[in-house]
């Protein structure tokens, strides 16, 4: 398997624009997670899905952020409108195990810069 | 909710020295403690984990120790090498036991 695939790897946009980040989890993994990494806050959990259903979105910072998982092989994280403080690396991760002690497999991240 | 504090935020050592990173958690019900390593430009990757029924686990040059009474766990790297240079994250499970909450990370630099 190719692992978790994220796109784009880099995105530079202007404040106010819509940003869509994409993720393809490892086939057969039932859990999908979105994390955000910044120097100040480290690796923050934004939202996660089980079998395409959002389980906990309490980490989503504002209503400007939304995430969907229309099928088992695709998820999106959307920011509309984007702001400079949204600049960060966004990671998608997937897990096969139903229990939380299973290994998380991360993608290589999407680096977002909002000017 | 669950909280985990990680120290130090940066650590510089000479090749061959040992490195220790410590994490403190708040929920006494926590029972799973993994460590992830993030190399430059990559996503984090699991390197070792420990469950609450053991006090120590080793895998070659890395080890994790757990003190449940004090609610802290530590990553130990012996005989450090330049390729150990990376960001290391500790983590604990959220209250639902279904997702990992990460510390803020430690940037380890090993100079030769």
Residues of B with CB under 8 A from a CB of A: 6, 32, 36, 41-46, 49, 51, 89, 93-94, 96-105
Contact B99 A56 (CB under 8 A): yes
**In this predicted model, what pLDDT tens digit does every residue of A33-54 receive, in sequence order?**
999 999 999 999 999 999 999 9
pLDDT of residue A100: 82
Contact A106 B105 (CB under 8 A): no
**In this predicted model, what pLDDT tens digit does every residue of B64-82 receive, in sequence order?**
999 999 999 999 999 999 9
**In this predicted model, what pLDDT tens digit does every residue of A51-98 receive, in sequence order?**
999 999 999 998 999 999 999 999 999 999 999 999 999 999 999 987
pLDDT at B1 over 80: no
| Chain B partners within 8 Å of A49 (Cβ) | none
- Whole-angstrom CA distances from A80 to A4, A43, A109, B53 are 24, 21, 19, 45
pLDDT at A1 over 80: no
| Chain B partners within 8 Å of A33 (Cβ) | 99
Q: How many interface pairs between A and B have CB atoms less than 8 angstroms apart?
A: 63
Opening angle at CA A56, ends A102 and B90, nearest 5:
45
């Amino acid at each position: 398997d190719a692992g978790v695939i994220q796109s784009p790897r880099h995105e530079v946009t202007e404040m106010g624009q819509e940003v869509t980040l994409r993720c393809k989890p490892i086939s057969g993994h039932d859990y999908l997670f979105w994390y955000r990494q910044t120097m100040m806050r480290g690796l923050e959990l934004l939202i996660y899905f089980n079998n395409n259903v959002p389980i906990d979105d309490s980490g989503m910072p504002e209503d400007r952020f939304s995430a969907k998982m229309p099928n088992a092989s695709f998820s999106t994280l959307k920011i509309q409108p984007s702001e400079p403080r949204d600049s960060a690396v966004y990671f998608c991760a997937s897990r096969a195990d139903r229990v939380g002690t299973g290994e998380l497999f991360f993608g290589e991240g999407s680096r977002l810069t909002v000017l | 909710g669950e909280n985990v504090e990680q120290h130090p935020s940066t650590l510089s050592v000479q090749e061959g020295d040992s490195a220790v990173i410590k994490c403190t958690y708040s929920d006494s019900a926590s029972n799973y403690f993994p460590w992830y390593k993030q190399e430059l430009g990559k996503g984090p990757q699991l390197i070792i984990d420990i469950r609450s029924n053991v006090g120590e686990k080793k895998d070659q040059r890395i080890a994790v120790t757990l003190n449940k009474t004090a609610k802290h766990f530590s990553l130990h790297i012996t005989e450090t090498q330049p390729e150990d240079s990376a960001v290391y994250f500790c983590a604990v499970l959220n209250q639902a036991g279904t997702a990992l909450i990460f510390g803020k990370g430690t940037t380890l630099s090993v100079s030769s």
